[in-house]
Structure 1
Amino acid sequence: MDEYGANVEWHPSYGVEKARIIRSILEKISAEKSEALNIAEFGSYAGYMTVLLGSSLRNNSKMYSVEEDSEYSDISSEIFRTAGLSNCQFLNDSAESAVSTIRDLHDGQLDLVLLDVNTEQYLPTFIQLQKTGLIGKGTTVIANNAIEPGLPDFLIYVRTAPELFSSTLHPCKNGYEDLRDGLEEVNIL
């Protein structure tokens, strides 16, 4: 996907720089947890991050991939299986509905959540995840598009409550463009 996006035709995947940052965050979480990891991604597009996240799963790990667009959800699922991975439940649903579904399917809280939905959905999804108990102390949330197109409401929410969240901006290139962007890493305290 990186080769195609960089040299053939642009597509809205994460790209090498964002993937490196997310891989680093994921390695840190994996090193801190000896047991299985529980991961959810909201917005899979064509499965770029689904494969990256899924390749880190250990036995008994649980992963949920949420994509509202049915065509992209199918593509993401197919690419995941083509990569030889199988430990993911794909949910073709809105972020709001999927949070309730995941709460029904999952006992406990998630270790990592990746948000990559429409920008106006980041904060409501984050708050709903908090209210359902799917995220809490020890959960890491990564929000894509922190700079471009930007997430002002979400960033104000997580950056102005230092007693609740530790928030770090990771500036980076936006996929296969020269446009600058960032990933916001939020650790729940």
Structure 2
Amino acid sequence: MVSAAIALAFLPLLVTLLLRYRHYVLLLYRAVLLRWLRDRLSGVPREQRAFQYVLAHAVPGDPRHVLLAFDQWGHRREHLSNLGPRKGRIVERLVQERAPRAVLELGTYCGYGTVLLALGLPPGARLYTVEADPQHAAVAEKVIRLAGFGEDTVELIVGPSEEVIPRLKEQHGLLRADFVLMDHWKRRYLRDLRLLETHDLLAPGATVLADNVIFPGAPHFLQYAKTCGRYRCKVHRTSLEYFRAIPDGIAELTYTGPR
């Protein structure tokens, strides 16, 4: 009786918390629980399922249609850690404004951000994208080529970023990047930014974008960017991909050179 009374006493609090954080609960369900269940039942990874959907619904050679198919999957089927349409508009606008010649992406995942970046490149520009997971890279390769971008425009490099960054100059010919998009593990943002500095891979005035700096967050990265004296920094406030009720943001850094 006592235990039941205690449980009933906490019930209103539990209901209040569930209502307040219902969007995060839904994210947990779609991104973790539903993925786990469908992975087990189908034997096919979520990323491959998403690609099969894109392959069936997108027009080959049409980058925007490929992105639209991904967005339809993310809204209607399962959550994917893509940029999504709202953040995508921010990134696309900045790429068009800066017209970069050499672009580096850290975290290819399924290729959504890669296609978005390549879509806005000026003629003759080159995009280097780095993915640590070979299975994700295999999906991304097919997505990039489905969208119509060849190896002369997009080079996909498979390997951990901490190993790839030091050899970008010698092995891949990237002398300096004037536009960087970080969308891999958030705890690696700061480490990889400092690696780019150490290996002199940032051109003066380079733009560095970092996704998900509010949720799940990258506090140490933001603190460094704001206090190290090498960057001008601002955060574009938006929402988590495919979850408008969850606040998120993209950090925009402008590299002003070594101190």
TM-score, normalised via structure 1 length: 0.92
Structure 2: which 5+ residue stretches go unaligned?
Answer: 1-69
CA distance in 1, matches of 2:91, 2:159: 24
The within-5 A match list for 1:95-174 is 95-104=161-170, 105-161=172-228, 163-174=229-240
CA distance in 2, matches of 1:88, 1:101: 17
Matched pairs, number: 183
* Equivalent position of 1:53 in the other structure: 117
Query: Would the aligned equivalents of 1:140 and 1:186 in 2 still touch at CA under 8 Å?
Result: yes
CA distance in 1, matches of 2:184, 2:133: 11
* Equivalent position of 1:23 in the other structure: 92
**Cα deviation digits, residues 65-118 of structure 1 (max 9, x gap):** 101000111111110000111111111100111102312222531111111121
The within-5 A match list for 1:32-47 is 37-47=101-111
More helix per residue = 2
CA distance in 2, matches of 1:159, 1:63: 27
* Equivalent position of 2:156 in the other structure: 90
**Cα deviation digits, residues 156-188 of structure 1 (max 9, x gap):** 111113x42110100111111131110000001
CA distance in 2, matches of 1:49, 1:122: 17
* 2:72 aligned counterpart, secondary structure: helix
Query: Would the aligned equivalents of 1:13 and 1:48 in 2 still touch at CA under 8 Å?
Result: yes
CA distance in 2, matches of 1:174, 1:40: 23
Query: Would the aligned equivalents of 2:96 and 2:121 in 1 still touch at CA under 8 Å?
Result: no
CA distance in 2, matches of 1:102, 1:62: 13
CA distance in 2, matches of 1:62, 1:165: 24
* 2:204 aligned counterpart, secondary structure: coil
Structure 1: which 5+ residue stretches go unaligned?
Answer: none
1:120, CA displacement in angstroms? 1.6
Identity %: 28
1:73 has 2:137 as partner? yes
Larger radius of gyration: 2
Distance 1:42 1:107, change over 3 A: closer
* 1:179 aligned counterpart, secondary structure: strand
CA distance in 2, matches of 1:21, 1:142: 10
Letter in 2 for 1:171: R
CA distance in 2, matches of 1:101, 1:78: 25
* 1:111 aligned counterpart, secondary structure: strand
Query: Would the aligned equivalents of 1:141 and 1:187 in 2 still touch at CA under 8 Å?
Result: yes
CA distance in 2, matches of 1:96, 1:60: 27
Query: Would the aligned equivalents of 1:64 and 1:102 in 2 still touch at CA under 8 Å?
Result: no
Letter in 2 for 1:130: E
CA distance in 1, matches of 2:230, 2:183: 22
After superposing the two structures, state which structure 1 stretch, 94-103 or 126-135, moved more: 94-103
1:62 has 2:126 as partner? yes
- The one of the two structures with greater contact order (alpha-carbon pairs below 8 A, sep at least 6) is 1
TM-score, normalised via structure 2 length: 0.68
